[in-house]
Amino acid sequence: MASGTSRDVVGRGLRVLGQAIREQPRIFAVAVTGSVLFGLMVIASAYVVGGVVGKVVVPAVARGSVADGALALAAAALFGISVLRVVGIFGRRLGAGYMQYRLQATYRRRVTRRYLDLPLAWHHRNATGTLLSNANSDVEAAWYPIAPLPFAVGTLVMLVGAVVSLFLTDWALALVGLAVFPALFALNVVYSRRMAPRQARAQRLRAEVSGIAHESFDGALVVKTMGREAQETARFAARAGDLRDALISVGKLRGVFDPMLETLPSLGTLAVLVVGAIRFRQGAITVTELVSVAFLFTVLAFPVRAIGWVLAELPRSVAGWDRVRRVLDATGEMPYGEVALDPATPAPATLAFHDVHFGYEPAEAHLPGAQVLGEVTFTVPAGKTVALVGPTGAGKSTIASLAVRLVDPDSGTVTLDGVDVRELTAASLASTVALVAQVPFVFDDTVRANITLDRPGIGDEEVWAALRLAEADGFVAALPEGLDTMVGERGTSLSGGQRQRLTLARALAGRPRLLVLDDATSAVDPRVEAAILAGLRAPADGGAPASILVVAYRRATIALADEVIYVEHGRVVARGTHTDLLATVPGYADLVTAYEQAEQEREQTRTYDEVTPLTSGLEVEVDR
Ligand SMILES: Nc1ncnc2c1ncn2[C@@H]1O[C@H](COP(=O)(O)OP(=O)(O)OP(=O)(O)O)[C@@H](O)[C@H]1O
Ligand SMILES: [Mg+2]
């Protein structure tokens, strides 16, 4: 069974290589041409060396003097061959490198492009770590055999050439070649087949060892406070021991096969000398021919190993390729429609949910997916502010995702200005709505780039205007390099509230006609939060206010809304003004009051927008 599977792997691996050749035929041709040139020059060099011995050295020894002309000719021939060999190696290496790295880059782009095209539902099912390794190590592994492939193809041509030249020289010597070359080839195949599973195991254990290390360093706080040092060390030691054993078994195999691969050609040379001496005595071959063939056997041994390298990489390549294909072939498109929603004068948009039902896809297909939203119907009229209030897990973020079409409802409709969002073009959707997510995401880039995101028509003036609306102009102006300040990965050099206001400014810079704020100002001082919302409702520049759907908890924020939608367990339980709901819906009053109490307690122990130690130079305006 094992051999059946490995034959299968070779077959599938060769198909992957075929795919690579189809994608880069010209570069592959260059690399193989270089490799074949090299192979032919290897054979030629053997015959020239033979010629030098037979025609220059032997007569010179007999005569006691060297013929200058013959020596010069031999030197020129060897030099010419060396130059061609160098050209061949250059072409092969360059071509193989080009091909390998080009394919890697192409597929990395395709995989990441696919990630961005796949709907959020797919991302919910796939861990970030897996996505990273698909785009990095899997793509790399898929194309590992490309590096030695041209060498191996050239070597096959060379072996055929060598056998032909042997037959042209002498049939008896050719028989030695026919015995040795296939044996060398077979030995390489056996070697790589035995090696592949050992290498794979070592590779897997390497990943596990670094995974465990990563986990225990990352969780150092937990490990230490829970007194788990000994257990963690033991867990690591066990895996490290497995890795050691796996690597030793790789070494053992090398220890057995490497000497055999070295010895076999030498035995061939020995056989050539024995057979050749007999044939020489019979007068069937000359000294030149004998030396040429003996030399040929010694120079052939190395290139033959290239075939083994390709075979050894095939299992890894197939595994990587399978994982890459899984991404590229993943279905679940979220196709966009054809309708453009771009009014001549930007006016606030109307958002309407009608009888929306939604459930997240289960992590595994056989598990039932729980319904998260049911019968959700509400409207955010043009220019109005609607607050979405509800206990944790009620489905507020899910409603926000549906409103900006990160996910589609299972039934019911979400419309913008009366058009089903599924019928809108991607560009239209992006220019109409903006979501400020519950967890702010900041790119490892400048403040400016984080706000413009390379969108056209957003100059510094627009950036500052957006920052002002988000009440973020103060702290950005105080940054050492203003808009050009680099903010660390995920905004680590910013406080929570600063991060939130930066992402809010990013959404505002695109002048959306509907703004969806998912708890987007929770880390901002309550007074600033209310000021931001008031500013959005009545822009200072006199422009039209956007329609706003805001997930909020704070009384001051909610009180600014024209209407409050109260959700519990994925259903709209009540709606009305804040005052109405406080008076009539007990759950609502409890929630708002409880939140207020918690806030007050927190406020006594902490201030908002504390300066993080990383950026002690930052001035923070808590009270603007
Ligand atoms: N990616 C997901 N996959 C599966 N279930 C999810 C996913 N995201 C959320 N849920 C579930 O959907 C329900 C609603 O979640 P949602 O995030 O919309 O709540 P929320 O009202 O925003 O809560 P919070 O106030 O804590 O932000 C919860 O029961 C949650 O467990
Ligand atoms: Mg939420």
What's the pLDDT tens digit per position in 406-426? 889 999 999 999 999 999 998
pLDDT of residue 346: 73
* Partners of 424 in the β-ladder: 339
Find, among 532, 454, 465, 455, the residue nearest to 497 by Cα: 532
Q: What percent of the chain has pLDDT over 70?
A: 91
Distance 552 CA to ligand 1 centre (A): 16
Mutate to test the pocket of ligand 1, among 358, 360, 407, 595 (most ligand atoms within 8 A of CB): 360
Ligand 1 contact via 115 beta carbon (within 6 Å): no
315 neighbors 198 (Cβ within 8 angstroms) = no
Name the least confident of 136-145, 208-217, 419-428: 208-217
Ligand 1 contact via 65 beta carbon (within 6 Å): no
Tens digit of each residue's pLDDT (9 = 90 or more) over 262-276? 888 888 889 989 999
Ligand 1 contact via 3 beta carbon (within 6 Å): no
Confidence of residue 185 (pLDDT cuts 50, 70, 90): confident
Find, among 46, 292, 301, 293, the residue nearest to 174 by Cα: 293
pTM of the model: 0.69
Would the pLDDT of 514 be above 90? yes
Ligand 1 contact via 369 beta carbon (within 6 Å): no
Ligand 1 contact via 401 beta carbon (within 6 Å): no
Distance 403 CA to ligand 2 centre (A): 14
β pairing state of 411-416 and 351-359: antiparallel
Q: Which helix (H) or strand (E) holds 563?
A: strand 563-568
Would the pLDDT of 548 be above 80? yes
Distance 389 CA to ligand 2 centre (A): 10
Tokens for 624, please give them: 């603007």
Would the pLDDT of 85 be above 60? yes
Question: Which ligand 1 atom is at minimum distance from the Cα of 399?
Answer: 18
Burial of 423 (0-12, 13-18, 19+ CB in 10 A): middle
CA torsion 504-510-513-514 (nearest 10°) is: -30
pLDDT of residue 622: 35
pLDDT of residue 100: 94
Confidence of residue 4 (pLDDT cuts 50, 70, 90): very low
Q: Whose atoms come closest to the Cα of 373: which ligand?
A: 1
Q: Quick one: average pLDDT of 347-371?
A: 83
Ligand 1 contact via 370 beta carbon (within 6 Å): no
617 contact partners, CB below 8 Å, separation of at least 6: 480
Name the least confident of 103-107, 221-225, 234-238, 612-616: 612-616
Which of residues 621 and 356 earns the better pLDDT score? Answer: 356
Would the pLDDT of 192 be above 90? no
Distance in angstroms (rounded) separating the CA atoms of residues 245 and 309? 23
For atom 26 of ligand 1, which residue has the closest CA?
392
Distance 398 CA to ligand 1 centre (A): 6
Tokens for 619, please give them: 């001035």
pLDDT of residue 1: 37
Distance 568 CA to ligand 2 centre (A): 13
Would the pLDDT of 132 be above 80? no
pLDDT of residue 577: 92
Confidence of residue 523 (pLDDT cuts 50, 70, 90): confident
Which CA distances in Å does 609 have to 306, 479, 501, 617?
A: 61, 14, 11, 14
Distance in angstroms (rounded) separating the CA atoms of residues 307 and 192? 9
Q: Which helix (H) or strand (E) holds 486?
A: strand 486-487
Question: Which ligand 1 atom is at minimum distance from the Cα of 519?
Answer: 27
Confidence of residue 253 (pLDDT cuts 50, 70, 90): very high
Ligand 1 contact via 32 beta carbon (within 6 Å): no
β pairing state of 433-436 and 563-568: unpaired
pLDDT of residue 345: 65
Distance 397 CA to ligand 1 centre (A): 7
Mean pLDDT of the chain: 85
Distance 385 CA to ligand 1 centre (A): 23
pLDDT of residue 613: 36
Q: Whose atoms come closest to the Cα of 393: which ligand?
A: 1
Q: Whose atoms come closest to the Cα of 391: which ligand?
A: 1
Distance 193 CA to ligand 2 centre (A): 52
Ligand 1 contact via 393 beta carbon (within 6 Å): yes
Mutate to test the pocket of ligand 1, among 397, 406, 568 (most ligand atoms within 8 A of CB): 397
Q: From the centroid of its chain, how far is CA 525? A: 38
Ligand 1 contact via 506 beta carbon (within 6 Å): no
Which of residues 617 and 253 earns the better pLDDT score? Answer: 253
Ligand 1 contact via 565 beta carbon (within 6 Å): no
Q: Quick one: average pLDDT of 36-43?
A: 93
Ligand 1 contact via 372 beta carbon (within 6 Å): yes
Question: Which ligand 1 atom is at minimum distance from the Cα of 395?
Answer: 18
Ligand 1 contact via 316 beta carbon (within 6 Å): no
β pairing state of 547-551 and 514-518: parallel
Mutate to test the pocket of ligand 1, among 356, 371, 372 (most ligand atoms within 8 A of CB): 372
Mutate to test the pocket of ligand 1, among 389, 396, 565, 595 (most ligand atoms within 8 A of CB): 396
557 contact partners, CB below 8 Å, separation of at least 6: 387, 521, 526, 529, 530, 533, 550
Which of residues 612 and 510 earns the better pLDDT score? Answer: 510
Q: Quick one: average pLDDT of 217-225?
A: 78
Distance 404 CA to ligand 2 centre (A): 14
Confidence of residue 84 (pLDDT cuts 50, 70, 90): very high
pLDDT of residue 96: 94
Confidence of residue 35 (pLDDT cuts 50, 70, 90): very high
* Partners of 388 in the β-ladder: 551, 565
Crossing angle of helices 25-51 and 287-328, rounded to 10°: 160
pLDDT of residue 623: 34
Q: From the centroid of its chain, how far is CA 493? A: 26
Confidence of residue 620 (pLDDT cuts 50, 70, 90): very low
Would the pLDDT of 178 be above 70? yes
Question: Which ligand 1 atom is at minimum distance from the Cα of 362?
Answer: 4
Look-up: residue for tokens 């021919």?
289
Would the pLDDT of 207 be above 70? yes
Would the pLDDT of 605 be above 80? no
